[in-house]
Amino acid sequence: MSIDMSQFHQVFFEECFEGLEAMESGLLTLDMGDIDSEVINTIFRGAHSIKGGSGTFGFTVVAEYTHIMETLLDEMRDGRRKVTQPAVDVLLGSVDCLREMLTAIQNERDVNSSSVEKHKAALEVVLNGGSAPVESTFPSEQQITSEEIPANDPLNKDEEEFTAFEEQGWKIAFCPYLDLLKTGNDPVRLFRELNELGELTTIANIQDVPGFYELDPEECNISWDLKVVGDISDDEIKEIFNWVEGDCEMDIQPLAKTIKVSSAVKETGPEPIITAVSPNNPGPKSAEVKPKPITEIKKTDSQDSDNEVAKTTAKASSIRVDTDKIDTLINMVGEVVITQSMLGLVGENFTMDKVGQLKRGLAQLERHTRDLQQSVMNIRMLPISFVFSRFPRLVHDISSKLDKKIVLKLVGENTEVDKAVVELINDPLVHLIRNSLDHGIEMPADRVAAGKSETGTIELKAYHRGGHIVIEIIDDGRGLDKDKLLAKAIEKGLIEENNLLTEKQIFELIFMPGFSTAEQLTDISGRGVGMDVVRRNIQSLGGNIEIISELGKGTTIAIHLPLTLAILDGQSVAVGDETYIVPLVSIIESINITERMLNKVAGKGETFRLRNEYLPVIRMRNIFNVHSDNPTKSKEGVLVVVEGQGELCCLLVDELLGQQQVVIKSLEANYRRVEGVSGATILGDGSVALILDVPGLVRFSTR
C-alpha cells in the first residue's frame, strides 16, 4: 500500500483550486439574492471534495477547516439556516483562506496559522449565531487545541467537531486479521458501502505497518476507526460487515457515547490519518492510506500577511485538455502514420510511373501535418474565462470596500487564446480593472448627480479579430479628463508646456512611469506605477493597448494580443535576394505595380493611390538597405497593402513567393531586437527568414 502520494499532489491542488473557483463563483451568485439550492449544492460539493482530497493526502489543516465550512453549508442546503450576506462574506473569506493554505502547502511553505484561526473563528461565530446545535464552549476549546498542536494531533478536534455537530451515527473499531485481503475482502468496498449510508470518516491506524522491506502486500496491517454519521440502523451496519465477520475484530457503538473511548484509542496511534470518503469519488482515495507521518503541515507563525501575493516556487506547469481535442490529435497521428507507411511502400521499389502516387502521398502528408500542427496548437488554447472568472470576486470585494455599486458584465468568455497569453494577461487585467473600479466609476451619489444610474457597469469583453484576440474593459464612469492629464504631465515635467498633443497622445500619457492623477493614494491604486508596467507586459506579449475615453461617459481600454505566440500564417516576399515573411493577418491586399503608379510627395516620400485613398509607400529595399545585383527589378514590383495598428500602408517588395505557416523563433534569445522585425523563422531549405513587424515598420519608416 505504500504509494508515493506526492505524485498526485499536483492534480490534487489543481482540483482544489478549481473547486475553490467554483465555490467562489457560486457564492457570488448567492450574493445577488438568488438563493438556489443547486448553487448551494455546487458550493457544497466543492468544499466536500477539497475536504476529502486533503484528508487523503494528509493535509489535515485543510480538511478540518473545510469540515467547518461544510457544516455551515450543509445547514444552508437543508434550509436550516438562512443565507445572509455576513455568512456569505465569511464563506468568501474562507475560500480565500483555503486558497492561501493550499498555496502554502503547494509551495511547501508553512501555513499561516494565525490567519487560519481568524477565519475559523469567524466561521464559528456564524455557526453559533444560528440555530445549529453547538456546544457553547466549543470555539475557545477549538482555538486552544489548534494553537498548541495545530497539525500533529488534529484528531481530537475532528472528533469533537463531529460529536458537536452531529448527533446520530456509529463508531466502529474495525481491526481486520492479517489475512483479510486473502479472503477476497476489500476494506475499501466496505467503506464505500458505509459511505452510502451516511457520511463516513475513517482513521487508519498504521502503527503496525512494517517497514517497506518487510511489508507483505497481501497482509492487511492496518486497522481503522470509522465514524458513520447519519440516521442508520444497527442492522444496516452489521449487514455490511457480514462478509468479514470471521476475519476481523470489530466493535460497533453508537457515536455519542464513544467520545472518550475513541480519544483514548487515538492516542495510542502515533501516526493516524483521517480519510474522508466523499460520495462523489469514493473508492480509491480512501484506500491509499500512506504510512507517512503528517509532516507537510508544520506549526508556524509565518509572517505572511493576508493579502501577500503568494510567491510561487518553480513548479511544473500543466494544462487540462478537453478529451475531444486529444481524440482528434490521436486520429490525426493515425492518419500521418498511415500516410507515412504508404509513402514507404511507394519508395521501396520506386519506378517513374509511381510519381503520381508519390505526389498524392506527399500532398496527403502535407495536409495531415498541417492538421496535426493545428490540433497540437489547439491543445494550448484555453478559453479566456480562465482569467475572467476571477474578476467577479475582485469587483465584488473592491466595490464593497469603496462603497460603490458596480456590476461586472462578462462577454465572450469562451474566446480561446494560447495558454501562455492567458497566464501573462492576468496581472495587467487585474490592474486595469482595479483602475476602472477606483478611478473610473464614480461614487453612487456623484453618478446620480451626473444623471447616470446609481450602479456603474464594467464590461469585460473578449473577441477574435483577425489573428488577434481583443480584450476590452469598458466602464461607464467619469472618463479621462484631457485637461487634467495635460496639466499633470506638465506639472510633472513629463512634457513641454506648449507641446501640441493629439487626443490619443494625451491618453497615452497615463502609461508614463510615475504618472497618476489620483488626488490621494488608496491601497487599491494611485501610485503611478503600474500603467507603464501594464503596457510593457502587453507589448512583451506582442500586443498593444489602446484607450478611448469620453469625459463623463466612460473609458474603453482595448488590448490587442496575438492568439498564439508560436505559429504564424505568413506570406513570403522577396526583396532583392532576400526573403522576408509578412504576417498574413496584416495583409489587406497585394497589387502589381510599376514605378510610375507611385506619386512623389515633397520629392522624398511616396504615396500610392488606392481607391481614392493615398497610402504611404515603404520601399523595403531602402528601409532594409538591400543590395542586389539586379536593380532593374525595382522599376516594377508588388505593393503589399498592410494594416498596422489601424493604419494602412504599402510595402514595396520585388515579388510574392508563397504562403506558409511559419514557426516563430525569437531573435532575442541569442541576439537582440531588430527594428521592423518581430522574429525569425526557418524556411524549408534550412535558411533563416525574418518576420516583419508591420506596426514597427510603419513607425520606423515615419521617423
Footprint on this chain of other proteins (rule: CB under 8 A): 578, 623-626, 665-667, 669-677, 680, 682, 686-690
72 versus 651: smaller Cβ distance to other proteins: 651
What whole-number distance in Å separates Cα of residue 649 and Cα of residue 651? Answer: 7
**Helix, strand, or coil (residue 477):** coil
DSSP state for residue 230 in the 8-state scheme: S
**Helix, strand, or coil (residue 508):** helix
Ranges of beta strands (E only) in 329-426 are 381-383, 406-411, 416-418
What is the amino acid identity at position 395?
V
What is the amino acid identity at position 511?
F
- For the chain, report the end-to-end CA distance as a whole number of angstroms: 71
Nearest-Å Rg of the Cα atoms of the chain is: 33
Q: Minimum Å distance from CB 607 to other proteins?
A: 23
Q: What angle do CA 162, 164, 170 make, to 5 degrees?
A: 45
What whole-number distance in Å separates Cα of residue 632 and Cα of residue 311? Answer: 61
What is the amino acid identity at position 273?
I
**Residues 105/111, Cβ–Cβ less than 8 Å:** yes
687 versus 702: smaller Cβ distance to other proteins: 687
**If phi over 0 gives left and psi between -120 and 50 gives alpha, with beta otherwise, what is residue 559?**
beta
**If phi over 0 gives left and psi between -120 and 50 gives alpha, with beta otherwise, what is residue 460?**
beta
212 versus 671: smaller Cβ distance to other proteins: 671
Residues in the chain: 703
What whole-number distance in Å separates Cα of residue 66 and Cα of residue 82? Answer: 20
**Residues 102/9, Cβ–Cβ less than 8 Å:** no
Contacts of 212 (CB under 8 A, 6+ apart): 2
Whole-angstrom CA distances from 92 to 46, 85, 118, 238, 589 are 13, 10, 14, 41, 53
Q: Which residues pair with 618 in a beta bridge?
A: 651
213 versus 671: smaller Cβ distance to other proteins: 671
C-alpha grid cell, residue 608:
500610392
Q: Minimum Å distance from CB 376 to other proteins?
A: 16
**Residues 587/642, Cβ–Cβ less than 8 Å:** yes
Q: Minimum Å distance from CB 670 to other proteins?
A: 5
**Residues 112/304, Cβ–Cβ less than 8 Å:** yes
Q: Minimum Å distance from CB 653 to other proteins?
A: 13
Ranges of beta strands (E only) in 177-240 are 199-205, 223-229
What whole-number distance in Å separates Cα of residue 561 and Cα of residue 291? Answer: 50
What whole-number distance in Å separates Cα of residue 640 and Cα of residue 652? Answer: 6
Please list the alpha-helical segments (H only) found in 198-255.
234-241
Query: 147-158 burial, b for 16+ CB within 10 Å, e for fewer?
Result: eeebbbbbbbbb
What whole-number distance in Å separates Cα of residue 53 and Cα of residue 63? Answer: 8
Q: Minimum Å distance from CB 265 to other proteins?
A: 54
Pairing label, strands 456-465, 406-411: parallel
**Residues 383/354, Cβ–Cβ less than 8 Å:** no
Residue 693 parent element (H or E)? none
**If phi over 0 gives left and psi between -120 and 50 gives alpha, with beta otherwise, what is residue 514?**
left
Q: Which residues pair with 169 in a beta bridge?
A: 229
135 versus 675: smaller Cβ distance to other proteins: 675
**Residues 650/642, Cβ–Cβ less than 8 Å:** yes
C-alpha grid cell, residue 433:
480593472
What whole-number distance in Å separates Cα of residue 180 and Cα of residue 249? Answer: 11
Q: Which residues pair with 549 in a beta bridge?
A: 555
206 versus 690: smaller Cβ distance to other proteins: 690
